[in-house]
Amino acid sequence: MSTTEMVFQSLDLGQASENEYACLSQFKNILRHEYLPDDPPIPLEEQIQGWKNIPQFVEYEEYIAWDTSKTKIIACGQIAIYNTGDNEHLADFMIEVLPEYRKQGIARQALELLLPFAKKHERTLWMTESNDRIPASSLFLECLGARRGLENFINQLKLVEFDRNLVDRWLEQSKELKNKFELMLWNGAYPDAQLNDITDLFQEVANDQPRDTLEMEDQKFTPQIMRDMEKSMFARGTQRWSMFLTDRADGKLVGLTEVFWNPNRAMILDQGFTGVYSAYRSKGLGRWLKAEMMQKILRDHPEVELIRTRNANSNAPMLKINVEMGFKPYIASSIWQVETGKIKKYLAGEK
């Protein structure tokens, strides 16, 4: 491996210059095209709004490196923590390098810049993600001594291949459930009156997802955290449909499914989280939610051609439903974890 000394500079994503935003957007879209070659680039204004509206609970440092002409960003490193009162041993990090500049020691230099932030906040474990479209990421993480903690797929459904009769069959099977449960649709922000109940639902159901060998504890959800995430998402122009089920006996929220759509990528819709309280499972509520949402998508978003969702390979119940719907593996992804001590040894040249 050759070594190229780069000069990195810190960047405040909320207050960058027009040129910095434009070059960073171009950099991100080059890398995005590497693993999503058929997708349109993300417009500059959408990216700027995302950077200017990072949730308040996120604390981060960002570094960028320029080419010799100072006209193109060639590498980027970021480390972040989430001040949510949980997982106070963790830091998320990401190092990205343009393909033609890889294997020159640039990622190592970025890592040296990120280490003081982790030390300052006493973070002992770092996490990041890689995918099979950019194998250089996995090779770097292996050299670093990181290990895979959770394997998952971005699964994709092509609507031209979808069996639309499946929706009718699942809705027919769900008829009796309507006597016990009520379906609600929310477009956009969660209603204030239901926000606490929605937060409680996420707190239990979202944390019930498989974590495999990831060394992390349950995440904490609060109404303010939910609102901060909404603000960031809506600032980018992303729209959300949420479908919830309530128990008619006591009005309790028992399950949900959500989808996200951005007009800048009108052909693609993202299926977000789907979950049901454990006491209400094995009743067909998940299939009912999926069928109702799919019916609405087909009716109200005819421009959508692809639906994507992320599933842990160990999440058998959700995978079963998605396989029935026709979702197929699209991108293989891994979440890695590595101790701060191993990063120090790597940077010191120790094994």
CB 55 within 8 A of CB 229: yes
Integer CA distances (angstroms), 264 to 42, 52, 178, in order: 7, 18, 36
Q: Over the chain, what is the mean pLDDT? A: 95
Confidence of residue 2 (pLDDT cuts 50, 70, 90): low
State which CATH number among 2.60.120.10, 2.40.110.10, 3.40.630.30, 3.50.50.60 fits the domain covering 8-123: 3.40.630.30
pLDDT digits (tens, 9 = 90+) for 137-173: 999 999 999 999 999 999 999 999 999 999 999 999 9
Q: In the structure encoding, which two tokens stand for residue 139, read together? A: 């090779």
SS3 5: coil
- Residue 20 φ/ψ, nearest 5 degrees: -60, -45
Confidence of residue 3 (pLDDT cuts 50, 70, 90): low
pLDDT digits (tens, 9 = 90+) for 188-232: 999 999 999 999 999 999 999 899 999 999 999 999 999 999 999
pLDDT value of residue 316: 86
CATH 3.40.630.30 region(s) of the chain? 8-123, 155-334
Q: What is the DSSP string of 39-66?
A: SPPPPHHHHHHHHHT--TTEEEEEEEEE
pLDDT value of residue 318: 85
State which CATH number among 3.90.1150.10, 3.40.50.300, 3.40.50.720, 3.40.630.30 fits the domain covering 155-334: 3.40.630.30
**Which helix (DSSP H) or strand (DSSP E) does residue 255 occupy?**
strand 253-261
Q: In the structure encoding, which two tokens stand for residue 252, read together? A: 């309790």
pLDDT value of residue 111: 97
pLDDT value of residue 313: 83
Asked if pLDDT for residue 1 goes beyond 60, the answer is: no
Q: What is the DSSP string of 207-254?
A: GGS--TT----PPP--HHHHHHHHHHHHHTT-EEEEEEEEETTT--EE
Tally Cβ neighbours within 10 Å of residue 284.
15
